[in-house]
Amino acid sequence: MSQLRRDPVTGRWIIVDITAPKRPEEFELKSQVKKGGVCPFCSGNEKMTPPEIEAVREPNSQPNTPGWSVRVVSNKFPALKIEGDLDKRGIGVYDMTNGVGAHEVIIETTDHYRDMADLTQNEIKNVIFKYRSRSLDLEKDKRFKYILIFKNHGFSAGASLEHTHTQLVALPIVPKRVKEELKGASTYFGYRERCVFCDMIAQELEDKLRMISENKRFVAFCPFVPRFAFETWIIPKRHSQNFKSIDDMDIDYLAQILKDTLVRLKVVLKDPPYNFIIHSAPIRDGLNEEFHWHLEIMPKLTNVAGFEWGSGFYINPTSPELTAKYLREVQV
Amino acid sequence: MSQLRRDPVTGRWIIVDITAPKRPEEFELKSQVKKGGVCPFCSGNEKMTPPEIEAVREPNSQPNTPGWSVRVVSNKFPALKIEGDLDKRGIGVYDMTNGVGAHEVIIETTDHYRDMADLTQNEIKNVIFKYRSRSLDLEKDKRFKYILIFKNHGFSAGASLEHTHTQLVALPIVPKRVKEELKGASTYFGYRERCVFCDMIAQELEDKLRMISENKRFVAFCPFVPRFAFETWIIPKRHSQNFKSIDDMDIDYLAQILKDTLVRLKVVLKDPPYNFIIHSAPIRDGLNEEFHWHLEIMPKLTNVAGFEWGSGFYINPTSPELTAKYLREVQV
């Protein structure tokens, strides 16, 4: 069982593993993602993962056997477990609760040697369909308040398995970083009566300085305030607060622009490590109409150091105007 | 000239290098701190750094020549530059200002092959004296609002030079992360009429579960809510909001407990990469009496991944109760 603990000063939560904690010697720094050995995400090894939750499958193929092209399973080493109730309590000045939640893995292809940028638009579409269906299924559980969808690609970005996959975590608490975004969007809306993200999109489309590409429904650009070099956002043109509400046509256009952007990053930076995160409003989000969901891609080209940890300031060794130019000029 | 830019949603600031931006091919990931070559921080190479600001020197030795034991210089590649005025302005929805500030380096020893844990208590004392004198000197500049003192040790923690050193940045803005801490401490004070850090110290001394060591003036413990495995805080027992106000006796005791803690971490984790950061109230801090300065040491044993970036939640693979036990049991 993991435990959630709340910092009494900043309100930051952490998840602590108290049942199978790592020993000091287990922290030896590995220089790369584990390669070789048997991969639990490859076709034929379905029994190595927890049971299948959903999959895109050939007709007549059985769950937990080959015949799938996208497969959703529970994380074998979940940060949070689905069983149990939230049990908030205090210990002196501190607060804690049980680690209730869901932690799922979306395996994007059977092929160990292709990453997301190598998948076809149609394959990526099927992956995004799973993001949506899992979101819609998990939000029925009233204990959950937030669904976080993210991808770690490459060792420096935190990937522990090489085989391409996305993770989904359902949380019993709206996380601090999401609250900050909601508050910021709400403050802006409060005095402008407009969505801050809609205003950004309008400015980016007009300035063109930081644009990478656009299609009928989405825009990809390097944000004016990137924490990381080559940070890139993909955002729907139409105001919409929650990822889960995307329609089938949106998914088609999102798959197109996501593949296009990942290919551009791969060409310019030679397969960089990166994280991407879907920023969306909380599950019960009636009050968050001023938010606008989007996907943030953060290449991990430099190490985060004491200055960033101490200040929340980020030092970026290049400008988004320049990185957008590099990405825009790639012949896709 | 660097530029400071403010995110219109979260209020986060970043520093962008717009004069000498890195090209994509310059981001190749290095696997370790640059070794070999000529070190600008070694004795005899004083001319390789910007001119000396302060130093602990043998009598009759000249600035920018050998004969020093601690040396303070400007950072050759500063994140912010001392010249110019703050020039805040908007660009559409965005805000920016010039990158005015100071960025100094405190070289802790002439010896290339000793890190801070290897220095004597007396040597560390002289380093801390420089932290204080530089803080007191820089705060006279009315453009500056915050002084951040931090150390990056090891490549994964962001160190670009192997020779042990600490950095000091004077900022024209109180950083977001500091504001969060001030607000949290102030909220707690508001309903308890007590300092949250003083309450934590009392609880840690009573529980003993997360204690590492203490001396007459300081306590070292693993916090209840560590973001990172083996995270350790050193905090003065007496309530004091700002690091700069430490007296000579405090410096003596801080040097003792800092060396003791760094040695323990080095023994248990075999010279881990780490950052440490002095968390202190802003320069003009009359309003922040509820804050309590302290030093946070964060070993970097795991990579920060999409989950942490997306949520502000941290997953810690071990508990502070256990890491404190490991550190406590080291025979120093």
Q: pLDDT, tens digit, for every residue of A257-316?
A: 999 999 999 999 999 999 999 999 999 867 778 899 999 999 999 888 898 888 888 888
- Which B-chain residues 40-99 have CB contacts (< 8 A) with chain A? 79, 91-94
d(CA B254, CA B244): 13
d(CA B211, CA B209): 6
d(CA A171, CA A149): 11
Where residue B271 falls among pLDDT bands split at 50, 70, 90?
very high
Name which residue leads in pLDDT, B92 or A115: A115
d(CA A150, CA A171): 13
Q: Considering only alpha carbons, which residue of chain A is nearest residue B304?
A: A158
Would you call B225 and A5 a contact, using CB atoms and an 8 Å cutoff? yes
Interhelix angle B320-328/B248-269, nearest 10 degrees: 100
* B62–chain A nearest CA distance, Å: 32
Give Cβ neighbours of residue A306 (< 8 Å, ≥ 6 apart): B150, B151, B152, B157, B158, B167, B275, B276, B277
How would CATH label the architecture of A2-171?
2-Layer Sandwich (3.30)
d(CA A174, CA A232): 24
Interhelix angle B196-207/B176-192, nearest 10 degrees: 80
Would you call A10 and B181 a contact, using CB atoms and an 8 Å cutoff? yes
Main-chain dihedrals φ then ψ at residue B157, nearest 5 degrees: -95, 5
CATH assignment of B2-22+32-171, given 3.30.428.10, 3.30.2270.10, 3.30.70.330, 3.40.50.1370?
3.30.428.10
Q: A11 to chain B: which residues are within 8 Å by CB?
A: 180, 184
Would you call B171 and A313 a contact, using CB atoms and an 8 Å cutoff? yes
* A48–chain B nearest CA distance, Å: 22
Would you call B24 and A268 a contact, using CB atoms and an 8 Å cutoff? yes
Would you call B315 and A188 a contact, using CB atoms and an 8 Å cutoff? no
8-state DSSP, A116 = G
Nearest to A50 by CA among A60, A59, A37, A41: A41
User: Are A277 and A154 a contacting pair, CB within 8 Å?
Assistant: no
Residue-level pLDDT at B28? 60
User: Are A301 and A203 a contacting pair, CB within 8 Å?
Assistant: no
Residue ranges, comma separated, of all CATH 3.30.428.10 domains in chain B are 2-22+32-171, 176-328
Extract the tokens encoding A287.
């009050």
Spot the catalytic one: B165, B279, B292, B294: B165
CATH number of A176-328: 3.30.428.10
- Which A-chain residues 215-244 have CB contacts (< 8 A) with chain B? 223-227, 229-230
Vertex A318: Cα angle to A313 and A323 (nearest 5):
120
Residue-level pLDDT at A35? 59
d(CA A69, CA A126): 9
**B29-86 residue pLDDT tens:** 544 455 567 999 999 999 999 999 999 999 999 999 999 999 999 998 888 888 777 7
Give Cβ neighbours of residue A202 (< 8 Å, ≥ 6 apart): none
Counts for chain A of helices (H) and strands (E), in that order:
6, 15
Spot the catalytic one: A103, A163, A165, A294: A165
Q: How many residues does chain B have?
A: 332
Mutate to test the interface with A, among B1, B3, B7, B9 (most CBs of A within 10 A): B9
Q: Does the interface predicted TM-score (ipTM) exceed 0.90? A: no
Would you call B227 and A14 a contact, using CB atoms and an 8 Å cutoff? yes
Extract the tokens encoding B29.
């990931």
Average pLDDT over every residue of A143-165: 93
Would you call B13 and A313 a contact, using CB atoms and an 8 Å cutoff? yes
The answer to whether residue B193 neighbours chain A at the CB level (below 8 Å) is no
User: Are B205 and B219 a contacting pair, CB within 8 Å?
Assistant: yes
Residue-level pLDDT at B82? 81
Count of CB atoms within 10 A of residue A25's CB? 9
- The shortest CB-CB distance from A311 to any of B9, B94, B175 is to B175
Give Cβ neighbours of residue B40 (< 8 Å, ≥ 6 apart): B48, B49, B76, B161
Residue-level pLDDT at B34? 54
Residue-level pLDDT at B32? 46
- The shortest CB-CB distance from B5 to any of A22, A203, A224 is to A224
* B211–chain A nearest CA distance, Å: 16
B165 counts as catalytic? yes
Extract the tokens encoding A265.
């990053």
Beta bridge partners of B315: A15
Residue-level pLDDT at B71? 98
**B310-325 residue pLDDT tens:** 888 888 889 999 999 9
Beta strands B314-316 and A13-17, pairing class: parallel
Mutate to test the interface with B, among A30, A280, A311, A326 (most CBs of B within 10 A): A311
The answer to whether residue B316 neighbours chain A at the CB level (below 8 Å) is yes
Count of CB atoms within 10 A of residue A208's CB? 10
- Give buried/exposed letters for B220-231 (b at 16+ CB in 10 A, else e): bbbbbbbbbbbb
The answer to whether residue A19 neighbours chain B at the CB level (below 8 Å) is no
* B262–chain A nearest CA distance, Å: 15
d(CA A222, CA A210): 5
- The shortest CB-CB distance from A316 to any of B14, B200, B223 is to B14
Q: A93 to chain B: which residues are within 8 Å by CB?
A: 196, 199-200, 203
User: Are B223 and B208 a contacting pair, CB within 8 Å?
Assistant: no
d(CA B245, CA B236): 12
Would you call A12 and B181 a contact, using CB atoms and an 8 Å cutoff? no
- Give buried/exposed letters for B274-286 (b at 16+ CB in 10 A, else e): bbbbbbbbbbebe
Where residue A34 falls among pLDDT bands split at 50, 70, 90?
low
Residue ranges, comma separated, of all CATH 3.30.428.10 domains in chain A are 2-171, 176-328
Per-residue CA distances from A198 to A189, A321, B181 (Å): 11, 20, 31
Would you call A15 and B314 a contact, using CB atoms and an 8 Å cutoff? yes
A115 pLDDT above the threshold of 70 = yes
